[in-house]
Structure 1
């Protein structure tokens, strides 16, 4: 079994739509080792570092030279995407944010324009629970500082001042190669979406290099294609409190599994946990949820949905999941209760004894 979110190394240096990018989680590749014995050719494994996190790559069907060339090509692409999409550093998205803050119209490369357009569509579909325009809030909270966690929350007056300007991607005007905003409050942070885009593109690149099957884990969020031993991939879902696994999930070829949790990047102040998953409506960490896991066939959608559903919480997750077109969801509320869909229950088995209480099962 592959265990997602098993260990916690360095957090990502960029934000994540509603928050900084989910903290890096290395993957314990147990299932891959087990499957290797059933495969005529052993897998090729490589560990890379990109987007501020550990990236685990496992390839089947390539000899060592071709596999090494594929992973080297992937690593170079990951570094390029990170430079282009970093919200505060460099001349890609960071340049656009500087122009927005100054009230200037700025040029936008076609590839980056398409990412912003899709992020804006997901923002709208999620009812703005996923809202990559709140980069100013991310910076205010201090979740943009790499491994350095904040010590205390920012003043309420500072949070409310940012919220008063209602930053959101819907305020942007995307023209033919240009971008502008009526206000200066919008700061674009694609972190809760960019890692998913990167996983999608990584899988495409590895397929183009001839891999018969591949698995990419980026900070514990996983995408795969192919079946290395004529069986589905098995992925462990980390328990959001304590050690061990909450559940094991079956991942079919071409699917991804993404998780957002309040345990990934947080600090405590006066006995209260403040995590990086910010609610765009309140400007503060979303409450009532410990973790959300999504299985889908599109990593960018799964990435954004995991954040949006975390923010939506136990009361609204079903509505948001339907609006986003996500069928396989596992939400753990702040009491440890499970809210899930029937489609997700068909894919998972709980690993805890006794299993967590099933509070809600959506019949779709």
Structure 2
């Protein structure tokens, strides 16, 4: 190796080492891991690097624990056992699952069925990686089994039964919001005051970014390299639901995505023909509020309800705001954000 080449290599290594040292010494700590079928991002400030490693491990372990309990893809998860057994007989469930189901059913009633965890009865037949979906005959046959009223929960005694034996549930519309809240609770237990935690489209912010707000980008739904908006936030949660997260394009050039309309048993229609008939259909919804346990199901609800009913829902809920993008790529805000 020539002296010039060696000097260039050593200079590069020194620069990298200095940059790494600065990142570690400024008190900010970062981690990213693949959990819950998405990327979990963690950023927080703590003066001790040794303590930060313990905190990071505790947060990521909590995400893995929740995934192990609530994943519909893990055969031994509590959710999978529920889907195998609750349609046949009443069964005992954990207090955690009972709490999540109770919240889910509350939002089902609040939104008159726009949020409905029993969408999985048909949703489980879709494979977005393979481009597979339930056919029309199967959809019509199973549609009566998609109804949150089939979920009979005894919250006090922690028992659950499905009143329709074919009903299945999925907590994809609430579990990640719940998980980021749990992560923030752990950070607070360790005395952390400034942090950002995200899992897919759900994020929870603890405090501010040491004297300035966190800047949260809302992805452009048709150009992943751009943001449709950047919102300054602190000490809050934000959840985004869009038709671009998991989808495939069918033979008719139609976007088939993962947000289901329980009334039809199919993905909520979002494709635009470029005219005003699509003005109520949404392709992206972001809801801001105190906790992810609420903003997560609300973003799904607004997406299914459409612009008019969805914005009206959020306007009637103090402490919550929404940003929606319709099928014609126009952006709308609830009244608290219009300034």
The corresponding residue for 1:92 is: 78
Partners of 2:71 and 2:41 in 1: CA distance: 21
Find the residue that maps to 1:134 and give its secondary structure: helix
Displacement, 1:130? 1.1
Q: 1:109 to 1:283 in 2, by over 3 A?
A: same
Counting helix residues as a fraction of each chain, which structure ranks higher?
A: 2
Aligned counterparts of 1:41 and 1:79: Cα–Cα separation in 2: 28
The structural deviation recorded for 1:342 is 2.0
What is residue 362 of structure 1 aligned with on the other side?
Answer: none
Q: Does 1:158 align with 2:143?
A: no
CA contact (8 A) 1:86 1:94 kept: yes
Aligned to 1:222: 203
Separation (CA, whole Å) in 2 of partners of 1:59 and 1:191: 26
Paired position in structure 2 for 1:22: none
Q: 1:110 to 1:152 in 2, by over 3 A?
A: closer
Superimposed CA distance per residue, residues 168-196 of structure 1 (whole angstroms, 9 cap, x where no aligned partner): 25531326132113221321211110000
- Once the two structures are overlaid, the 10-residue window that deviates more, 191-200 or 334-343, is 334-343
Q: Does the C-alpha gap of structure 1 residues 207 and 294 become closer, same or farther in structure 2, counting only changes over 3 Å?
A: same
Contact preservation (8 Å) 1:127, 1:320:
no
Distance 1:48 1:210 in 2: 23
Cα separation, partners in 2 of 1:323 and 1:164, compared to 1, 3 Å: farther
DSSP-derived class of the 1:192 partner? coil
Q: How far is the alpha carbon of 1:152 from its aligned partner?
A: 4.4
Higher relative contact order (CA 8 A, sep 6+): 1
Equivalent residue, structure 1, for 2:173:
192
User: Residues 135-174 of structure 1: matches in 2 within 5 Å?
Assistant: 135-143=120-128, 149-168=129-148, 171-174=151-154
CA contact (8 A) 1:192 1:303 kept: yes
Question: Unaligned stretches of 5+ in structure 1?
Answer: 1-32, 144-148, 347-364
Alignment of 1:42-53 (within 5 A): 42-53=27-38
RMSD, aligned CA: 2.2
Instruction: Report the Cα offset of residue 203 of structure 1.
Output: 0.6
How big is each residue's C-alpha offset from its partner over 1:72-101, in whole Å with a ceiling of 9 and x where there is no partner?
011111111111111242141111111123
Query: 4+ residue stretches of structure 1 with deviation over 4 A?
Result: 322-326
Shift in Å, 1:281: 0.5
Aligned equivalent of 1:294? 287
Displacement after TM superposition at 1:340 (Å)? 1.7
TM-fit CA distance, 1:227: 2.3
Kindly tell me: are residues 210 and 327 of structure 1, through their superposed partners in 2, closer, same or farther at Cα, counting changes over 3 Å?
closer
CA contact (8 A) 2:220 2:226 kept: yes
Preserved contact between residue 122 and residue 324 of structure 1 (Cα < 8 Å): no
Match of 1:351 in 2: none
Q: How many pairs align?
A: 304
Match 2:185 to one of 200, 204, 210: 204
- Specify the alignment match of 2:241 in structure 1: 260
Correspondence 1:314 to 2:307: yes
TM-score normalised per structure 2: 0.84
Aligned to 1:216, the other structure's residue is in SS state strand
* 1:329 aligned residue: 322
The change in CA–CA distance for 1:171 and 1:92 in structure 2 (over 3 A counts) is closer
Q: 1:296 to 1:124 in 2, by over 3 A?
A: same
Looking at CA atoms only, which structure, 1 or 2, has the larger radius of gyration?
2
Residues 104, 323 of structure 1: CA spacing in aligned structure 2 closer, same or farther, 3 A cutoff?
farther
